Structure 1
């Protein structure tokens, strides 16, 4: 049985008549939120309070028939709990209550001690906003919701029809007392373990009477007007939007919230119910399709997923060109089948018919079209900044990336793909100049230590993004030098080490600490690091061990693992080669090994690949470079046996490979053992794959390994079976390219940030990178020019370890960027858009703007009823008319 007096108080606050049809019960969230902290005595005193009528303790005591001292004590307890406001007027305290939301429930959620002690408070607040939202659908006109989005002011500056009530500065300038508190919605989400990674601290600004109350009850701390403006600015820089309590009357409010779409309980009206009029501003986003370059920054930062990437190019088949809705709650029945209850996990980045293939096919989904446009304008620093949102190592990747973006480039259907890697390399060249490097701003200052184990691309990427977020990151590397396979596994003629050093130096300037010569599992354990105060761990040890053939005699002198050979070469400790060298393998590493062998003294290098020339996994340009250096490539041959004499390799016999893959493209080679050939050799370098050497790293841990010796972790969050340990890169996926590891590192950093902060979910409100390319076979491309692809000057091949490749000149860069077809563009769902303006702050191309579509002003709660009733009646008439037209069509 519940507390009867507390239920009576809940109905009193909700202005419900006792025993009426719509009065609350013990099962309703309005009762549940009060029940843990409100005693019968507090409830009795609360019955003497009134909605927005200020009463002294003496007045309340007289109304409820209790002694003044006890009444005063209980009123202060109600204020502390969040049930009532308290202010001092002329030296005397006055008390009153306000709406449930915005009002009592936020204030109760902002008593952090009570929320922690009684999770029911958080659960009731969340339940209220979810259950009561249904009754509002379609019934509130624009401007009359309980909460209202206020545009980011820079988004409407210069807009001639703007109203002062939609300017943040108006509210801040007309008040003198300010406080800042934690966000109530995010407090609730955190208490429920459903946080989205946007943290609650110092988010919401109170003004006037609300600030006085928040300061007095310890919910907030007093700040100056200047500090309030700074909080607004910081919120906008962190991708947040503004909204205000909207029931004080037009142009009046007592608070400014800085919201995210993934935790805000008010924005759920737009996202879950698609009842956007309940919360929107008078503005909607508008995209200039000609200026838009589909960088996707507006899409990622839109709090309600009203923006999606589409295509700009014409097509002979239908494509999604508009997100305009045929039905909305304004004129249609709106049952649960039309809601989106999973809005926190099902955001869409791209329309069903796809977008720019360069962005879609890149493992890190870099905004290729965007940085190409910036480069064409000479904005190289801005271009570098855009790249580094998803890839901290553009100078490295400009030299070694497999460039899926070029392979899938739409320009292939005209002549040749855009030279995307060369453009990126040109942009990133300034990273090699210590005076011109782009160093991102550190966003926060979290006093938490994170350990990254391994300094290859995955580990460095994770460290970079954690450092930007504000964590104290230490990278442990067992070798004496930092860089992992970037430094030790790639020859200098493809990636000179000063390039690696330059981009790692940026991490040092961000505060990342590198500890080399320390092997975790041997010198120290993960448990040791836990005792040292590290909150989470990222395993990124890579796949630095070569695979063996499994043939007799494989331990003979002269047979060397290819990855070991590259590593020793990069450490200036490689064995001198001579005579005939056979390289076994067909991938990029095998090509690197073969080209390194020539430079190490071999007189003849022959590469034997199971795959045909067309099936070789090595990139075409890498194969061409090898052929230019007189490396012989024999396709379709696999090792059969080794001839060893006196412990030294003398010959290797090969068998003919008839097929490498089965019909499902699984590795399943078939050989003709009757067709063989024997080659005399002095050295054999094995490059048939890489494996992971875990050492003692996993001793006494709860981590599990797959059949392929990779660590088992969640494919989306990268969390392993040991919750504080995350893994990524080659030790999770098996050997892949650096860009894959870089993408994994960033995602792991997001997960680690969420894991080490209380109550944060690893999945809610998170970008799932659901990209897909547009259909290229039906594009209408006949009108495009045939400007030839620009190529860097290519000097004659040299057999030293310097990188002979030059870059594009600035003149060539200008010509090459003009070849971009600008395939993609952002589309706007104007109905779903709440008009916050976040898209305009993210766009570097002046393509996104806010335009005023509505003219709705707020009303006070006392005057809202008639407005809502009128809107509801008009809606019912529109629904009836629509249904009538629908029935008439069916009859015909």
Structure 2
């Protein structure tokens, strides 16, 4: 065999003669990127990404077609090569039109793969949908009830009719799994020997404990209250989050193996130094923001004057309060809305929220404002309290002095301060006043010890923590959630605590923290104004499912949950409204990967802005979106049957197609190899509607059971769900090829109608009834024994299914041949 000796990136390589530079580099583990390469089938419209610099050559050379020659000195990563690849990628990317991630995914603070769990719901895969959510959010039961729904504000369905009820679907899958007693069997890493203390058992503390335990650390939660849950238990009334939901959610988290110590108050029962002395390697502070900002007007020391969090805590603990007939709530935040609605449920006839600005300027979510208004809460806006010193009349216990407010001139940022209107004082007679002016984590200095004194506190009463590392001013002590960021939503507390857990793991293990999700994104429009309505030409109006609710006249009489939740049919219908904006080829898109790798800024260099071609769904197994096609031709050249044609009426001056056509011929056998070779998401499997984004996917290598060829295939498994089937082009006998059954015939595994429980018919003519496996096996054993005794082994025969695994089919035939003693065994796909 003749050989050549050449140098690549300073490495001397001996290779057999007749190979291209690309092939030599690959065999030497030197990576040269390419978008269009198919071995042995050069492109007529080359991408030019694989170019290299060859000493003595004036121009860059395409490594996919240039043969390696003796004495060559090649550079694959020079500045000139890098610049050329960048330019070519920018040109190719300019016409690529689609979304990498859906807008709902990008808007979710929790970075949850929203489109994925909605797709699972549409397929009836509720367990897997919840598993997707809990990869990023361990408290979906609560968040599904109180989330501000940032994701829904960017749902493109809004451009047609109404946004998808994303949060209600999250609640549905959580409640469904709870009612069906589903154990998600969330995995965790092997024990690390590291111990972490978590101070606070609210949403932030529970989240940090959950993710740290999954990393293999031993975690102990120290909670001042007699029960875990924090704001979920003591801050939200039962009509928002019932206590049984909190109990279930907390117990689901504790089943991961988390230690708890209840009724342990920081600064009284333990200090930070005590935790160090106990052997904890790091501490997370997640105590929330439970101290109310004082109601700073004269005479607030009277009876029947409460602060919001203390009031809600008393309500949630079941304490009976004498609240009178009328009440005023000072403040316009979300907690103020819950206080007002709780006052109605406590029998207060008239509840008024007092706020110094306009309704739209309230910090409360407008949905919460509307719900309070629907239940009868009144609003006194552009007014501010000035004192409680006046003598009340005989009909009220308190007289709240108010002054009317107006907006001042806008400052440089456009913000307008509120100013009192002279001479506009009036009074409001009430029996109870509750102030809700904001919350803080600390009121002054933390008591306890020397380490507590070293903790820096912000002027707003929060712990100072590094936004990148989550670490406080004390080494090894971290903070997150409301305690560090101020009072925000539950999902934002979860995000902060998850980030802190990642940082704590890196700290105690002395390793790099998990990288953040890359924000690179092709998009069909960053804002609604940027989105072409041509995207929705074939979409009919279909209004969202209406959440079943108890009417206000009934719901205000007790603390039972107001929103009753979707039924299964409602959830499936709502999930089907999803437009599936994000690309389901996200994890295999070579164009995106190379753009990121080579630092191509598509926001500056450009990307497609309008759909040029309709999406073609006429193929029985494959969806074709020519708007994503970059005309690399890999799909066409990888087809063994010449069953696919990719052509263009012309190409522009940069080599990009005009009048693109992707046409499947009648001889297509739906093997799907073209999809596997597509460098973007232009070709995709119809049954693959769940995008995978920075999530763990296991690859299970097995043998296809559908016939006797023995094709080797790879199952891509996420959670407990087979996402798709592929094959390795380097392994025989199929070398990457699969038939339509091998590549597409796996949907039955997750089908909701699939039998997962044995059924037996006890008597002829009787219906089949579900039984436990032990009973079913005993029933079959007795029947087999009777037939064997009466008629011998050849009276029995076994017919196995091609939908069983190869291992199962092997065990099946072994049972009949060795156990029963008969060769009457067949397979439904043998012929």
Quote how far apart the aligned CAs of 1:851 are.
7.7
- Which residue among 384, 397, 405 is the counterpart of 1:657? 405
Judge conservation of contact 1:636–1:656 (CA < 8 Å) in 2.
yes
Q: Secondary structure at the match of 2:569?
A: helix
Once the two structures are TM-superposed, the CA of residue 723 in structure 1 deviates from its matched residue by 2.7
Change (3 A) 1:133 1:456: farther
Structure 2 partner of 1:700? 450
In 2, the alpha carbon distance for the partners of 1:612 and 1:668 equals 12
Query: Does 1:803 pair with 2:555?
Result: no
Secondary structure of 2:530's counterpart equals coil
Structure 1: 5+ residue stretches without partners? 1-131, 149-245, 248-265, 284-322, 341-349, 856-892
Indicate whether 1:717 and 2:469 are aligned: yes
- Corresponding residue for 2:428? 679
Other-structure match for 2:512: 761
Name the counterpart of 2:438: 689
Local SS of the residue matching 1:739: helix
Match of 2:573 in 1: 815
Matching residue within 373, 381, 384 for 2:127: 381
1-structure distance, mates of 2:304, 2:440: 21
Following the alignment from structure 2 to structure 1, what is the Cα–Cα distance between the partners of residues 530 and 13?
41
| Structure 1 equivalent of residue 519 of structure 2 | 770
Which of residues 159, 167, 170 is equivalent to 1:421? 167
Structure 2 residue aligned with 1:43 = none
Distance 1:584 1:133, change over 3 A: farther
1:467 aligns with 2:217: no
Q: What residue is the counterpart of 2:489 in the other structure? A: 737
Using the TM superposition, give the Cα deviation of residue 853 of structure 1 relative to its aligned residue in structure 2, in angstroms. Answer: 11
1:747 corresponds to: 499
Q: Cα distance 1:679–1:387, how it changes in 2: closer, same or farther (>3 A)?
A: same
What does residue 93 of structure 1 align with? Answer: none
Matches within 5 A, 1:21-420: 135=10, 141-142=21-22, 144=24, 275=32, 328-329=51-52, 331=60, 334-336=77-79, 355-420=101-166
CA–CA separation in structure 2 for the residues paired with 1:427 and 1:721: 41
Question: How far does residue 850 in structure 1 lie from its aligned partner after superposition?
Answer: 6.9
1:40-97 per-residue CA deviation (whole Å, 9 max, x = no partner) reads xxxxxxxxxxxxxxxxxxxxxxxxxxxxxxxxxxxxxxxxxxxxxxxxxxxxxxxxxx
Task: Give the match's secondary structure for 1:423.
Answer: helix
Relative to structure 1, is the Cα distance of residues 421 and 567 closer, same or farther in structure 2, using a 3 angstrom cutoff? same
Q: Which moved more, 1:772-781 or 1:802-811?
A: 772-781
Instruction: Kindly indicate whether residue 362 of structure 2 is the aligned counterpart of residue 607 of structure 1.
Output: no
Task: Identify which of 527, 531, 543 aligns with 1:788.
Answer: 543
Cα distance change, pair 656–461 in 1 and its aligned pair in 2 (3 A) = same
Q: Which one of the candidate residues 535, 539, 543 is aligned to 2:281?
A: 535
The correspondence of residues 542-621 of structure 1 with structure 2, limited to 5 A, is 542-621=288-367
Distance in 1 separating the partners of 2:361 and 2:397: 29
Out of 230, 234, 240, which is 1:494 matched to? Answer: 240
Shift of 1:778: 3.1
C-alpha spacing 1:461/1:339, structure 2 compared with 1 (3 Å): farther
How far apart in 2 are the matches of 1:736 and 1:325?
Answer: 50
Compared CA separation, residues 684 and 722, structure 1 to 2 (3 A) = same
Task: Give 1:814 shift.
Answer: 1.6
- Does the 8 A contact of 2:291 with 2:439 survive in 1? yes
Q: Higher RCO, 1 or 2 (CA under 8 Å, sep at least 6)?
A: 1
Counterpart contact for 1:479–1:518, Cα < 8 Å: yes
Deviations 1:156-187 (A, max 9, x none): xxxxxxxxxxxxxxxxxxxxxxxxxxxxxxxx
Report the Cα offset of residue 379 of structure 1: 0.5
The alpha-carbon deviation at position 437 of structure 1 amounts to 3.5
Q: Partner of 2:461: helix, strand, or coil?
A: coil
Say how many residue pairs are matched: 548
**Alignment RMSD:** 3.7
Against the structure 1 CA distance between its residues 394 and 325, is the aligned structure 2 distance closer, same or farther, given a 3 Å change threshold?
farther
Change in Cα spacing, 1:731 to 1:282, as seen in structure 2 (3 Å) is farther
**Counterpart of 1:227?**
none
Q: Distance in 1 between matches of 2:132 and 2:223?
A: 29
**1:556/1:355 Cα in 2 relative to 1: closer, same or farther (>3 Å)?**
same
User: Which residue of 1 is the match for residue 582 of structure 2?
Assistant: 824
Counterpart position of 1:882 = none
Q: Could you tell me how far apart the structure 2 residues matched to 1:628 and 1:605 are?
A: 12
> Quick one: structure 1 residues 678 and 752, their matched pair in 2 at CA, closer, same or farther if it must change by over 3 Å?
same
Deviations 1:277-316 (A, max 9, x none): 9xxx999xxxxxxxxxxxxxxxxxxxxxxxxxxxxxxxxx
Residues 1:381 and 1:613: Cα distance change in structure 2 (over 3 Å): same
Cα 1:847–1:328, aligned 2, differ >3 Å: closer, same or farther?
Answer: farther
Q: Distance in 2 between matches of 1:706 and 1:852?
A: 58
What is the CA distance between 1:644 and its match in structure 2?
4.5
Q: Is the 8 A contact 1:837 1:850 kept in 2?
A: no
Where does residue 510 of structure 1 map in the other structure?
A: 256
TM-score for the superposition, normalised by structure 2 = 0.60
Q: SS where residue 614 of structure 1 aligns?
A: helix
Counterpart-to-counterpart distance in 1, 2:470 and 2:516: 14
Structure-2 residue corresponding to 1:115: none
Instruction: State the alpha-carbon separation in 1 of the partners of residues 175 and 332 from structure 2.
Output: 31
- Cα pair distance change 1:484/1:134, threshold 3 Å: farther
Q: CA deviation at 1:502?
A: 0.7
Hey, what's the Cα distance between the residues in 1 that align with 2:336 and 2:457? 27
Structure 1 Cα separation of the partners of residues 422 and 81 of structure 2: 63
Per-residue CA deviations over 1:3-25 (Å, capped at 9, x if unaligned) read xxxxxxxxxxxxxxxxxxxxxxx
Q: Distance in 2 between matches of 1:591 and 1:436?
A: 34
Offset at 1:388? 0.6
1:550 is displaced (CA, Å) by 1.6
Deviation digits for residues 847-872 of structure 1, max 9, x if unmatched?
Answer: 695785999xxxxxxxxxxxxxxxxx
Give me the whole-angstrom Cα distance separating, in 1, the residues matched to 2:14 and 2:378. 76
- For residues 560-596 of structure 1, the C-alpha deviation after alignment (integer angstroms, 9 at most, x for no partner) is 1011100111111252211210001112111000011
Distance 1:337 1:671 in 2: 66
Cα pair distance change 1:448/1:554, threshold 3 Å: same
Residue equivalent to 1:633: 379
Distance apart, 1:712 and its partner CA: 1.6
